[in-house]
Amino acid sequence: MDWLNQGVQGILLGGHFALFAVGLALVFGTMRLVNLAHGDLTIVPAYVALLMINAIHFSPFYSIPITMAIMFVVGYLLQRGLLNRVVQSGDVVGVILTFGISIVIQNALLLGFTADNERLKAGTIDSLSIRINENLAIGWLPLIIFLVALVVIIGLQLFLNRTKMGRAFRAVSDDQEAARLMGINTKHIWAMAMGVALVIVAIGGVMRGIRTTFDPSFGSLSLIYAFEAVIIGGMGSGWGTLLGGIILGLSQTLGARAFGPPWSILTGHVVFLIILALRPQGLLAKTVTS
Amino acid sequence: MKAATSATASGDRQFSVHVASRVNQVVLGVGIIIVVFFILFPFFGGTPMTRRLVDFLSLLALSQLWNLMLGYAGLISVGQQGYIGMGAYTLWLFADVLHVHPFVGVIFAAFVGAIIALPSAALVFKLKGGYLAIGTWVLAEVLKTVVANIKQTGGGSGVTVVAARDMEVSVRIQGTYWWALGATLIAIVVTYLLLRSRTGLALKAIRDNDLAAESCGVNLWRTRLYTFVIAGAGCALVGAISAIHVLFVQPAAAFNINWTAYLVFITVIGGVGTIEGPIIGTIIYFVLRETTAKYGEWYFIVLGLLAIVVTVWSPRGIYGYIAQKTNFYVFPLQRKLRIVGRTAASQEIAAEGGEVAG
């Protein structure tokens, strides 16, 4: 069953999309900022890992924790130094600012690394797979990425619901004025939210670098996939984001099977547009966000 | 730019509402001279400079349209490259397949842009604020993917606009130039007249506070739709002009996000929400391009950083800053209240600097 195989691959791919989408949703949830640079920020960790691997020749998997730490600092400083200034200026200003950042990052990467394809070589893992039967094989790497996405989403839910910092995140999201009156440093919380978002992006970004080739132009599509997953699933719900990612992944792989590989991405877009037309609040919308 | 739209006497107060000042009438005279200069330019300016001005005018027209959407309707689109690309391909379709003269094909491209904008608006208007921006980007990607995957339009490698290539060079360059100039003038005049009209007041009300505007009876959805469709048609028209200009249409170039990057940077740096802003922004952009283009990516980085700095520290842009300091507008849209009477009550109002923001 070729279709079954494509379906399984689509679900696994969806986990990867969700990994990118969670960060976008977290930033929007805490500060209503639509980060247009999010896609480009998913490429940065892959290049950070590339630099490390070229310098000290170790497995890309070891570079993940270091890249996570670096991306946390980048996110915290970016938010504290620049983005915090526009959080209260309305969404249009945020879009213009992050669009500017997006173009700057993309061209800085072109300048530093050229437009060539790069890949993080992880040895044999990228070709190993579990063979279920003659038509169905599950690659170890896509499976690991999917499981990581699950762990990240569960972890983020636990963090938001069970920890003191998570409670502050939710308080700032609900009513930042009231949160501030309760003694919460909103500027710090926003910066932490961006830091956490980029930690998640770092995991996804390096993993993608191991799985496929990448170049500086990948940012736009990464942003668009993350956005589609968020809107399909419905804002304000971690599981919705995962569901959105899976629906997008399935649409792409099944679209490739049905209409041929060139139409795979387009099928994903069309499914997104249909859901947007019929159910703009998303499939699992918790709250109506404005 | 007529001054003194009305003079009313009510009791002991006499006042009149003005849009233009006397300086504006001088500016109008200078403006006419500048327009005549631009119209005649191809006869004395030489080919290289005329070609450069086609780029300049195209970007100016696009920026005005983007400014109309953002500065007045609060719509932020980062998907205008979709309309530019479709305009370019429509021109090729009409010129090379249907054998319409390229300079007539431009008009059909504008219609196609408007037709695409209608259903697009219905979809993206379901999204709010920043997410609307990404929605327009998705639609541009959809159009690009469709065009790039159709064999008849040359797929990813694109098509040559043969009808334009076979034209006599001087005719082609002059025709393209006048179309670009026409597009710019239309964009400016339409924006100006639209904003001076009832719809313009509605647009400015939406920009300032969309909820309040809606509760005052402004039809938010329809007003936004008008600007979205006008911008879509205009961008397709400029896309068609660029297809004649460069003779070649390719998905990666015609649907490039860099188009939108130019518009955003030009408008933001010059000043969102003014007609003068994009003019200043386009001039700055061209100075930068002529001086740093050979540094490739650096020039984009500089432009992006400049836009970031302006957004954070001077959100009204360069012209917004000047206008705030001098209260002078080349294209006056504000309605100013001038007190004529000499009673105590009216002088009190005059002392408060009675001005009604339009």
What residues of chain B lie within 8 A of the CB of A96, using their CB? 76, 264, 268, 307, 311
B328 contact A CB<8A? no
B54-73 average pLDDT score = 91
Least confident of A24-38, A171-185, B2-16, B239-253: B2-16
Same domain, B289 and B238: no
Same domain, B147 and B112: yes
Please state the separation of Cα B135 from the chain's center in Å.
20
Category of A89 on φ-ψ map: left (φ > 0), alpha (ψ -120 to 50) or beta: alpha
Same domain, B194 and B291: no
What SS3 state is found at B41? helix
Facing B304 at nearest CB: one of A100, A227, A265: A100
Facing A110 at nearest CB: one of B129, B145, B297: B297
Q: How far apart, in whole angstroms, are the C-alpha atoms of residue A278 and residue B292?
A: 48
Other beta carbons less than 10 A from residue B17's beta carbon: 16
Å between A180 CA and nearest CA of chain B: 23
Tell me which residue range forms the domain holding B155. Answer: 49-251
Q: What tokens were used for B309?
A: 């700095």
Edge-to-edge strands, sheet with B6-10: B6-10, B13-18, B336-339
pTM (2 d.p.):
0.88
Q: How far apart, in whole angstroms, are the C-alpha atoms of residue A28 and residue B87?
A: 34
To test the contact with chain B by mutation, choose from A89, A107, A290 the residue with the greatest count of B C-beta atoms within 10 A, namely A107
Å between A50 CA and nearest CA of chain B: 21
Provide the angle, in degrees to the nearest 10, between the axes of the packed helices A91-113 and A38-56: 30
pLDDT band at B155 (very low <50, low <70, confident <90, very high): confident
Question: Does residue B315 fall inside a structural domain?
Answer: yes
Structural domain total, chain B: 2
To test the contact with chain B by mutation, choose from A35, A36, A95 the residue with the greatest count of B C-beta atoms within 10 A, namely A95
Q: Which of B220, B251, B282 is the last residue of a domain?
A: B251
Q: How far apart, in whole angstroms, are the C-alpha atoms of residue A222 and residue A220?
A: 5
What residues of chain B lie within 8 A of the CB of A277, using their CB? 122-123, 126
Facing A94 at nearest CB: one of B130, B141, B261: B130
> For the CA atoms of B279, B281, B282, B286, what is the dihedral angle to 10 degrees?
140
A137 contact B CB<8A? no
Same domain, B207 and B319: no
More confident residue, B70 or B91: B91
Same domain, B66 and B128: yes
More confident residue, A65 or A3: A65
Question: Does residue B117 fall inside a structural domain?
Answer: yes
Q: For B93, which DSSP code?
A: I
CB atoms B76 and A272 under 8 Å: no
Least confident of A192-206, B58-72, B200-214, B325-339: B325-339
The predicted pLDDT at position B335 comes to 67
Q: Which of B216, B251, B286 is the last residue of a domain?
A: B251
Same domain, B245 and B311: no
B129 contact A CB<8A? yes
Q: How far apart, in whole angstroms, are the C-alpha atoms of residue A260 and residue A271?
A: 16
Tell me the residue length of chain B. Answer: 358
B301 contact A CB<8A? yes
A100 contact B CB<8A? yes
| Every domain of chain A and the residues it spans | 2-278
Question: Does residue B191 fall inside a structural domain?
Answer: yes
pLDDT above 90: residue B328: no
More confident residue, B5 or A235: A235
pLDDT band at B341 (very low <50, low <70, confident <90, very high): low
Question: Does residue B95 fall inside a structural domain?
Answer: yes
Q: How far apart, in whole angstroms, are the C-alpha atoms of residue A68 and residue A185?
A: 24
What residues of chain A lie within 8 A of the CB of B139, using their CB? 273
Least confident of A60-64, A234-238, A252-256, B352-356: B352-356
Question: Does residue B242 fall inside a structural domain?
Answer: yes
Helices and strands (H and E) in chain B: how many? 17, 5
Q: Find tokens 């619901």 and name the residue.
A: A161
Facing B141 at nearest CB: one of A28, A262, A269: A269
Other beta carbons less than 10 A from residue A186's beta carbon: 19
A142-167 average pLDDT score = 92
ipTM of the prediction: 0.89
More confident residue, A124 or A168: A168
Q: How many CB pairs under 8 A join A and B?
A: 123
Same domain, B207 and B142: yes
Facing A263 at nearest CB: one of B137, B149, B298: B149
Provide the angle, in degrees to the nearest 10, between the axes of the packed helices A60-81 and A38-56: 140
Question: Does residue B38 fall inside a structural domain?
Answer: no
The predicted pLDDT at position B11 comes to 52
A5-33 average pLDDT score = 92
Other beta carbons less than 10 A from residue B27's beta carbon: 18
Q: Find tokens 């200043």 and name the residue.
A: B280
A66-72 average pLDDT score = 96
Task: Tell me the pLDDT tens digit for each residue of B11-52.
Answer: 556 677 766 667 777 888 888 899 999 999 999 988 889 999
A1-28 average pLDDT score = 90
Task: Tell me the pLDDT tens digit for each residue of B277-322.
Answer: 999 999 999 988 888 777 777 888 988 999 999 999 888 888 888 8
A168-194 average pLDDT score = 90
A80 contact B CB<8A? no
The predicted pLDDT at position B356 comes to 41
Question: Does residue B299 fall inside a structural domain?
Answer: yes
Task: Tell me the pLDDT tens digit for each residue of B119-151.
Answer: 999 999 988 878 899 999 999 999 999 999 888
Same domain, B159 and B209: yes
Same domain, B279 and B242: no
pLDDT > 70 in chain A, percent: 97
Residues ≥6 apart with Cβ < 8 Å to B349:
B13, B339
Helices and strands (H and E) in chain A: how many? 11, 2
Same domain, B145 and B236: yes
The predicted pLDDT at position B346 comes to 45
Q: Find tokens 């060139």 and name the residue.
A: A262
Å between B137 CA and nearest CA of chain A: 8
Same domain, B112 and B217: yes
Q: How far apart, in whole angstroms, are the C-alpha atoms of residue A69 and residue A198?
A: 9
Question: CA-based Rg of chain A, rounded to a whole angstrom?
Answer: 19
User: In what helix (H) or strand (E) does residue B57 lie, and over which residues does it extend?
Assistant: helix B47-67
Q: For B19, which DSSP code?
A: S
The predicted pLDDT at position B45 comes to 85
Facing B138 at nearest CB: one of A93, A224, A280: A224
Same domain, B128 and B56: yes
